[in-house]
Every structure is written in C-alpha cells, then in structure tokens.
Structure 1
C-alpha cells in the first residue's frame, strides 16, 4: 500500500521490450539505497515489483496489461517519473490510501498559475469521475492530491509550490495523459450499497431496511392516515 506522497523523482534509464512485457530501469539513488528484490514501488502511481538493483538504478517488469491500462507504455528513455516505496507499518500516513492499481487514464486539459500555486484541470471518463468528489482525494501519476472541484467532465486541482517542485508536475503540459486512481473507499461503499463496482446482482447490498433490521437506525412509525389506506 502507498499514500501518494512522492519520495523521489527518477529518470528512465532504459526500456527493454520482451515478448509480452517491458523491463523499466529507473535511475533513483534514494530509492535504490533502501529497496530489495521483490519490494513494491509505485512508478507514476503504478505498483511494480523490483526485479534487479544496480545502484543507483532499479529495474522493474511491466506486463502487457499494465502497459495497456496505464501511461507507462507511453514513457520514453530520459523522462522523469514519480517514485514511492510501499508504506512501512510504522510510517506516517501523509496522503490517502493508494493501492497502486490505476483505474484509468485522464488528460491534462489546462494548467495555469494562480499566485504562488497552480490550477490544473484534468479531463476523465464518467466511469472515473463518479468516484471523484469535491474536497476528496485522488491519486494522479502517483501524487495524492485534493480535488478542488469536480463535475461530469473534469476535476480541478490546486497545486502548492512544494508539490510542484518535488514531483513531475512541473513537467506536465496540456494534452498529456496521466494515471488516475480514485479513492478505494468510494468503490467499497458503492459495492456494499449494491452499486456497479464489481458487484454482481446489484441491489442486494446495504439498504436502509437492512440497517433498520440490524438495529443501526430506528424506523419511524407510519402516520395514522397512511394506516387507514
């Protein structure tokens, strides 16, 4: 598990294509000093496993499905990526719950300065935006960010100088594709309520009737007028 607090910005040193996968080698001394083979590292929000360490470089294997569902397949040698090691049990929970399981990609619609900060507008599909709420959390390219506003076409972000300078945000341009992972809590709530997120036979989840029968809420007696009909 991750929290979306980027630890380092690395540079892609090599991309070696196999039959159904790509080995991604990243130069990042800070990360290479404290990882082991088999560890999980989020690269632009995508959870990958360390397969080789040759400090200051670390290599990962990305399979076809990962390349297809994320922007990793679009990356080139020399480009920068956000890096975060998996959260330790005694670590600080600085962002929000991030699994490194990208839900889909969005597109940077615009970026504009606003005083010492920047406003970033991200377009995404309705399937993703249903889980993005104003003042909620969203992970974009591995960065835990707070949603400034959201509608059925896009969401906006207000970026502080520290985040701008210490992530790949400063390299973003309008039209760029980004990885998006929505808040896992919303997906679980929807499924429990009988919604569509992986819930077969919707409508059988948590209902007001179930909560009342379980003693979590009190039912109100029917009005006398309704009892006569």
Structure 2
C-alpha cells in the first residue's frame, strides 16, 4: 500500500522483454528483494537490488494494462516505497493497481501551477469524482473538475518539481488509479444486491 506521495524521480535504465531496471538510489535504500515498489503508479516486486537500482519482472498483462507497453531506457518515472504501519498518510490510499490508462488532452497555466485535463476510457469516468482523490502516474491528486469525458487536476509548484507530472504534454498517456475508498463504496451496493438475490 502506498500514499501517492512520490519520494523520488527515478530513471529507467533498461526495459527489455519482461525485465525492467530502474535507478532510484534514495528509494532503493529502503526496499529489500521480494518487497514492493511503485514505479509510475505501478506496483512491482523487487527481485534484485544493485548499486542504487532495482530489477523487476513486468508481465505482458501489466504491459497491456499500463503505460509500461511503451516504457524505455532513459525515461523518468515517479518512485515510491510502500507505507509502513504508523506512517503519516499525507496523500490517499494507493494500491499500485492501475485501473486505466488516460490521455492528456490539455495543459493550461493556472497561476503558479498547471491545470491538466485527462481523458480516461469511458468505463472509468464514473469512478472519477470532483474533489475526490485520484492517482496519476502514482501521484496522489485531487480531482478539480469532471466534464463529460474528461477530468482535470491542478498541479502546484511542489508537485511539478518533485514528480514527472510537471513535464506532462498533450497526447501523453498516464496511469490512473481510482480512489480505493470510493471504489469500495461504489462496489458495495452491487454486492448487497447480489446478497439479496
């Protein structure tokens, strides 16, 4: 479990076949082989640690459901280590289980920050709630507005400087994870109806 508060911008050293190697020295110092790491919002299992870099397997299923289908050497990625019991939860509960891939359709300057518009797949729109939480490439953000087939988030300077989101551009694809609590609440009426039937 993660909070969506990115600790470091890492760099992909290689991404070939089903193996990815990410250099993130600050985060790597806090993980162990067999543990988890969030990379661009995708939870991966750390298999090897070597001199500030981790190696992990990325399956065809993960590539199909995330932006990892296009990830390559040199790419910057948001990196976060898992929460420990008792840690401060500054963002929101993030699992690292990507629900959908969205497309950036607008980037507008807004004061010192940026308003970013993202179009998710149609099936995902109902999971996005204005003033609710969402993880974009693993970053915990508040949904500013939902309009028909898209939503916006506003990035403050600290988020722009401390994550990869400050360099988003129109046409770029991003990993999306809906709010866990909202997802469970939405699923509860369906489960209750099934119990009655």
TM-score category (smaller protein): over 0.9
> Deviations 1:102-157 (Å, cap 9, x if unpaired)?
00100000111111011100001221110111100000000000000013300001
Tell me what 1:145 maps to. Answer: 141
Question: Is the CA contact (8 Å cut-off) linking 1:45 and 1:100 kept in structure 2?
Answer: yes
Tell me what 2:2 maps to. Answer: 2
The worse-fitting range, judged by mean Cα deviation, of 136-145 and 118-127 is 118-127
Structure 1 residue 46: Cα displacement: 0.5
**TM-score, normalisation: structure 1:** 0.82
Instruction: List runs of 5+ in structure 2 lacking aligned partners.
Output: none
Extract structure 1 runs of 4+ deviating beyond 6 A: none
Tell me what 2:150 maps to. Answer: 154
- State yes or no: 1:203 paired with 2:190: no
Query: In angstroms, what is the RMSD of aligned CA positions?
Result: 1.4
Q: Which has the larger radius of gyration?
A: 1
Larger RCO of the pair (alpha carbons < 8 Å, separation 6+)? 2
Structure 1 residue 205: Cα displacement: 5.6
What is the count of residue pairs matched by the alignment?
196
Tell me what 1:16 maps to. Answer: 16
Of 67, 74, 79, which residue of structure 2 is paired with 1:71? 67
Instruction: List runs of 5+ in structure 1 lacking aligned partners.
Output: 207-229
CA distance, structure 2, for counterparts of residue 14 and residue 141 of structure 1? 19
CA distance, structure 1, for counterparts of residue 101 and residue 149 of structure 2? 13
**TM-score, normalisation: structure 2:** 0.95
CA distance, structure 2, for counterparts of residue 77 and residue 191 of structure 1? 38
